[in-house]
Chain A
Amino acid sequence: MSSLTATAVDVRYKITNVSHTFPGMEVQALKDINLSITSGSFSSLIGPSGCGKSTLLNTMAGLLSPSQGQVTLDDQNVTEPPDEVGIMFQKATLLPWRTAIDNVLLPIELRDGAKAAATFSDKAANLLDTVGLAGFHEAYPRELSGGMAQRVAICRMLITEPEILLLDEPFGALDELTRERMDLELQRIAAGRTATVVLVTHSIPEAVLLSDRVFAMSARPGSISDVIDIDLPRPRSMETLNHPAFGAYVSQVRDALNRGHDYV
């Protein structure tokens, strides 16, 4: 109760009664979604494929306007991609004709033009260095591994200094080991900028490891079946995976997801 009143002050995203049906589809992709995201928090949307978690993220990103309901960011209706938001997708989607650093500079170039982008090149170089790509500034995407390409995509997202990061299964295409390392890197980056993060994932350990709050979703129609607050000490590390409470949270999220699937 006290946490509710405390967080009510700095709510950034507010999603009210959002439902969405794709044209020509029978089942609702989203049904009566209500949630709020507080400033500086790390939240995960977790659920099986087809539960609408990506659709929900897209409405928050302003890439999709829901059939019903309201998405607001700082009390403003989200109708187009907000300036303070950075988005990352499952695929790195780097432009193959641009070097790593030019890919990082793309958002600046699109926003302010090529001249402005040139003034950001030092910053882009620094970002690439911090994610361990010091020797790869001038490399083309075909010369990068999947994990390296995702690091470039992270830098591309961060170059505009977004306060809010929306991540759609950003490491879903990576192998387990790379993924864990990227997860911790993501936590470091988010903590370093006190960013507000919303992560879409279907990995329970990933959600528990990174989040303050996990929204468990169920499919057909996509809705939120449970909200689980994760109270593990920060910063979290590989050690956190061995924390007794970690396992408990993992089973709690799994139970929540299973409950959402009672009909299966």
Chain B
Amino acid sequence: MSSTGQTSQVRDSSRRTAPPTTRPAGGRKKNFLLVRRISAFFNSLPQPVAILLVLVTILLFWEGIVRTGAVSAIILPSPFRVAEQVGIVATQLASGGFLAAELWTTVQEILIGFGLACVVGFIMGLWIGQTQFGRKAIMPLFVMLEATPKIAFAPVFIAWFGFGISSKFIMAAFMSLFPIIIGTVAGLAATSEDEIKLFKSMKASAWDVFWKLKLMRALPFIFTGLKIAVVAAVTGAVAAEFIGGGIGFGEQIRVAAARIALDRVFALILVLSLVGALLFSLVALLQRKVTFWDTDSPARRKKKRGSA
């Protein structure tokens, strides 16, 4: 009797001590709910508003750091001074002033390099994707090359092709080659067994199987490669200009940075990023036109989700 009373007492005491351990958990739950509510608010913002919010926050933070004087304005110019420089650069570009020719040089390097990479990358991709030899002998070499920091080859290209435009577009091509090869190889493997069997049952020639089936199936993958490649071409051209000098936009950045005119540097970088974004959008637009049927494309998925 007494022993049972004791045990019940023990139980009671344990029950009494229990609440203090659960109370913080309840508080955490409340906090968690608040976090969820805040997160839900941010998630509900329309995309343009959300982007603007992030940008304004970054700029405010940036301006705040400059205002406190914690960092020298020479090292980190205020956003307003950068905006001013963006204005100057934009007027120069629009009026065909001293920056326009430099930008055109760099754009030429990017386009020639990208074009070259498209041709070479597609042919290499075909070789690797369509032949046993390519798969066995060429692919491993490309994987090794892909693993090396490609930028390290810039001095090599300058030594080979000189300080003119050619060493720059070769570098741009080199940087953008790999995504195109990988895209083409992956794309050529995307055709299903069923489709091959269907074409065989209709006695299709190897030529038709390639042009009317395998290449069509490969296109979405090739375009994915092209989108990565076109941005890589911008990096390649500008990096080669840093190292090899010349008359391009990258050289302008290097000179401005050497003068510690970082506001100008930021303005020039913004222009380059706009060039990259524009080229990327053009390829993406072309992809939407050419592979309109691709239900797995990100654009279509988004559209589907939106309508659902």
Contacts and interface: CB of A to CB of B under 8 A. Distances in A.
A142 B194 CA distance: 17
15 contacts: A63-B197, A63-B201, A81-B200, A81-B202, A81-B203, A93-B194, A95-B212, A96-B293, A96-B295, A109-B212, A110-B199, A110-B204, A110-B205, A110-B212, A142-B295
A63 B200 contact: yes
B74 to A, nearest CB: 57
Interface string B275-308: 0000000000000000111110000000000000
Interface string B5-31: 000000000000000000000000000
A87 to B, nearest CB: 4
Minimum-distance CB pairs A-B, first 8:
A96-B293, A97-B293, A87-B201, A110-B204, A107-B202, A93-B194, A93-B198, A110-B202
B84 interface: no
B106 to A, nearest CB: 36
A87 B198 CA distance: 8
Interface of A: 61, 63, 80-81, 87, 89, 91, 93, 95-97, 106-107, 109-111, 140-142
Q: Which of B192, B197, B213, B291 has the most CB of A within 10 A?
A: B197
A142 B197 CA distance: 21
B35 to A, nearest CB: 40
A107 B203 CA distance: 9
A96 B213 CA distance: 10
Nearest to A140: B293
Contacts of B208: 110
A141 B295 CA distance: 10
Given A81-B203, A91-B194, A109-B212, 16 more contacts: A80-B203, A81-B200, A89-B197, A93-B194, A95-B195, A95-B212, A95-B216, A96-B295, A97-B216, A97-B292, A106-B202, A106-B212, A110-B203, A110-B204, A111-B202, A141-B293
B201 A142 contact: no
Prevailing SS type, chain A contact patch: loop
A107 B201 CA distance: 9
Interface string B181-221: 00000000000101101111111110010001100100000
B193 to A, nearest CB: 10
Nearest to B213: A95
Interface residues of B, number: 21
Nearest to B295: A142
Contacts of A93: 192, 194-195, 198
A111 B192 CA distance: 21
Contacts of A111: 202-203
Contacts of B294: 96
A72 B194 CA distance: 25
A95 B204 CA distance: 14
A61 B198 CA distance: 11
Contacts of B194: 89, 91, 93
A80 to B, nearest CB: 7
Contacts of A89: 194, 197-198
Contacts of A87: 201
A61 B203 CA distance: 11
Nearest to A86: B201
B218 to A, nearest CB: 12
A148 to B, nearest CB: 16
Contacts of B292: 97
A141 B198 CA distance: 16
Contacts of A81: 200-203
Contacts of A97: 216, 291-293
A86 to B, nearest CB: 9
Contacts of B200: 63, 81
Contacts of A96: 293-295
Nearest to B290: A97
Contacts of B198: 89, 93
A107 B212 CA distance: 12
Nearest to A91: B194
Nearest to A107: B202
Contacts of B197: 63, 89
Contacts of B295: 96, 142
Nearest to B192: A93
Contacts of A106: 202, 212
Nearest to A166: B201
Q: Which of B192, B199, B202, B213 has the most CB of A within 10 A?
A: B202
B103 to A, nearest CB: 38
A110 B208 CA distance: 7
Contacts of A140: 293
A88 B212 CA distance: 19
Contact of A142 (B202, B291, B293): B293
